Amino acid sequence: MPGDLRVLGACPLDCPDTCSWVVTVEDGRAVGLRGNPDQPYTRGALCVKVNRYLEHTRADDRILHPLRRTGPKGSGQFERITWDEALDEISVRLRGIVEEHGGEAIWPYLGTGSLGYLQGCEGVAGRRFWNMLGASKHWLNICSSAGNSGLRRTVGTAAGMDPENFALAKLVVLWGTNTLTSGHHLWKFIQDARANGAYVVAIDPIRTRTADQADEHLAIRPGTDAALALGLLNVVLAENAQDDEFLAAHTEGWDDFREEILRHPVERVAEITGIPAESVRRLGTRLARTRPTALRATHGLQRHAGGGTALRTIAAMPGVTGDWRYPGGGVAFSTSDHVHLAVDRRDDLLARPVRTLVMTKLASQLHDVKCLWVYAANPAGSSPDANAIRRQLAREDLFTVVMEQFPTDTVDYADIVLPATMQTEHMDLHAGYGHLYLLWNEPAVPPPGECLSTTETFRRLARHMGMTEPSLYDSDLQLAEQLVSSGHPSLDGITLDRLRKEGWMRMNYPKPFTPFADGFPTPSGRLRFPPAGEAYVPPHTVRAAGASPYPLTLITPASHLFLNTTFGNNPELRRRAKDPVVLVNPADAAARGLAGGQRVRVHNDDGEFLADVEISDRVAAGVVASQKGRWPKFAPGGANPNAVVAERDGDMSRGPAFHDNLVEVSPV
């Protein structure tokens, strides 16, 4: 309409696509939101979740003012207070904790509710303030730490191929990833490849909506992915299809890794993975004969005891076949390591080194913490060992501050709640972990009520506490200028002024981008194959089989309607999601006398959650699945699947084991 204002922005949520969007503003009110049609990755489309974002910003339960707890912890009972009252109380409590217990008794718990470099987890987001207090550092390991570590051990970086190059592939393997639910924009490039004759295979314990659209689905036993990779390579060697030239010029450790491959013949791998031998052999033959092959492996794949090793071994596959040398070949896990913004958290402001607390160890590491400050996170709904977390959050000696937009389960335990802005209301800078673009988010409308951005909240708090360090008061534009001034060649030609005007810019990488055609960012410049005996780590569920009273492996995939726990309170999405279900194979249902639609307990020694049975061959016998993302307060019985997820580390970088838990399913 004439007079409407179009404001360019970006989706902040935990998704590889990081969409460019356009907000239509009329008379100071955001009235329209669409994907940016001019951005090559977004191509004008948003997902079913984010399509409701403007509605979400105006929700009736939006937190608009500072709040102080009036009832018991967990009750969600609060009274409205002023910002000055909130900052006064926070300042007094923080000073007292530092004086009595030291700064490390403060845990700034930052999550993936925003991936912004200003307001979210990717950049500064309060770290300078916490360094002034000497607070503990926070290790955000919940999403991708194991996979990142595995890739870096093989190719020297967690960054792999440009996902846009999937359009050039002749064989596409979607490994442990439900593309049409979690990052659907990649599917357009896969369709381009298909139009040119590519074959698409989905490897997943669940027959997902993506698997339905693939040419072939292999239902793998959860956590056995590295064994399958070795079996496929065994077929490649049997076909004498290894790229000897690439192996000699660009890899190290090949002789030992070759012997490891030979120790995993197809029949043995079929027993380990649950995939029929003929299916392993057929895909191995395709892999041997098809160049280029593009492998997409995402976060679900590495959330088990051997998750880092799985990515390490999968990243080695294109080293054997030589696919790393081809446009359209290689592995795409994350593009984050291709981003070279100048993030300066000012660790020099620390008076001395401090400990690092681990995000997924909240239940066990919170015991000696006196202040928990939660922002862009909902650990009561999204972290392992949920029952133990609630017990810790209920401690009266724990001062909990939550910066939030909605009354989550975590907010219910807060002493002080601070109202936070949403993406249409603040500035931010973004880089997708599934593409090679930087995106700018310009605020489209003023914040409602008394909501403040993350950056402004910490500026006000620093001022309230009398801190004089100048960098604490850098404006959002100053912070953004610092970020784009790293001097890295990938940022050549990218300025903040240009980024604000255009909304998005591709980083300075060629098209097509083949990062490892001529070598790898390792000390030797070569791909490093896993040493003998280190190419497959069995999952906990396999190692514990027979010794546990719980015979079923639970996996907790992403919902199509919620993003982690974001949108978990949206009335329409909750209506469409209906009551939670647990997928149970017909054989397992029959053995337990379960009927479709029956309410059951999914339980183990850590806890239980309730769900309705859906009898389906979408999961294999011995595997059950229930989606993550529901707020416990809105779930039957007040719990979601994290009640039965153990606080267990994986093999690398303390990656969590959300898909590596044993349970039983019993009638209520």
pLDDT 10s digits, 557-608? 999 999 999 999 999 999 999 999 999 999 999 999 999 999 999 999 999 9
- Reported as a pLDDT band with limits 50, 70 and 90, residue 2 is low
Task: Considering only CA atoms, give the Rg of the chain.
Answer: 25
pTM reported for the whole predicted model: 0.97
Instruction: Report the alpha-carbon angle 291-297-301, nearest 5.
Output: 145
In CATH, 67-142+347-437+445-489 is 3.40.50.740: yes
- Reported as a pLDDT band with limits 50, 70 and 90, residue 333 is very high
What does the alpha-carbon distance between residue 128 and residue 461 come to, in Å, rounded to a whole number? 12
Calculate what percentage of the chain has a pLDDT beyond 90. 98
The secondary structure element, H or E, covering residue 211 is: helix 209-213
Q: How many CB atoms lie within 10 A of CB 441?
A: 28
Give the pLDDT score at 4. Answer: 84
Query: What is the token pair recorded at 655?
Result: 């990656």
Mean pLDDT of 46-74: 98
Give the pLDDT score at 125. Answer: 87
Mean pLDDT of 260-288: 98
Query: What is the token pair recorded at 377?
Result: 């996170």
Q: pLDDT at residue 252 above 80?
A: yes
User: For the chain, which residues make up each domain, given as ranges?
Assistant: 67-142+347-437+445-489, 161-333, 540-667
Preceding peptide of 108 cis, ω within 30°: no
Rounded to whole angstroms, what are the CA distances from 349 to 137, 375, 400, 575? 13, 22, 24, 48
What does the alpha-carbon distance between residue 52 and residue 42 come to, in Å, rounded to a whole number? 17
Q: What is the pLDDT of residues 373-418, one digit of tens each?
A: 999 999 999 999 999 999 999 999 999 999 999 999 999 999 999 9
Instruction: For 597-668, list the strands marked E by DSSP.
Output: 599-603, 608-615, 623-625, 661-667
Task: Give 39's DSSP letter.
Answer: S
Q: pLDDT at residue 124 above 80?
A: no
- Reported as a pLDDT band with limits 50, 70 and 90, residue 3 is low
Phi, psi of 306 (to 5 degrees): -110, 30
Q: What is the mean pLDDT of the chain?
A: 97
Task: Give 574's DSSP letter.
Answer: H
Q: pLDDT at residue 238 above 70?
A: yes
- For tokens 């000012």, the residue is 346
Q: pLDDT at residue 464 above 80?
A: yes
Residue 592 has, within 13 A of its CA and on its CB side, a CA count of 25
- Reported as a pLDDT band with limits 50, 70 and 90, residue 33 is very high
Topology, domain 540-667: Barwin-like endoglucanases (2.40.40)
Q: pLDDT at residue 547 above 90?
A: no
Architecture per CATH, domain 161-333, reads as: 3-Layer(aba) Sandwich (3.40)
Q: pLDDT at residue 260 above 90?
A: yes
Q: How many CB atoms lie within 10 A of CB 234?
A: 22
Give the pLDDT score at 336. Answer: 96
- Reported as a pLDDT band with limits 50, 70 and 90, residue 181 is very high
Cα–Cα nearest to 579, from 604, 597, 603, 557? 597
Give the pLDDT score at 466. Answer: 97
- For tokens 């659209």, the residue is 213
Q: pLDDT at residue 525 above 80?
A: yes
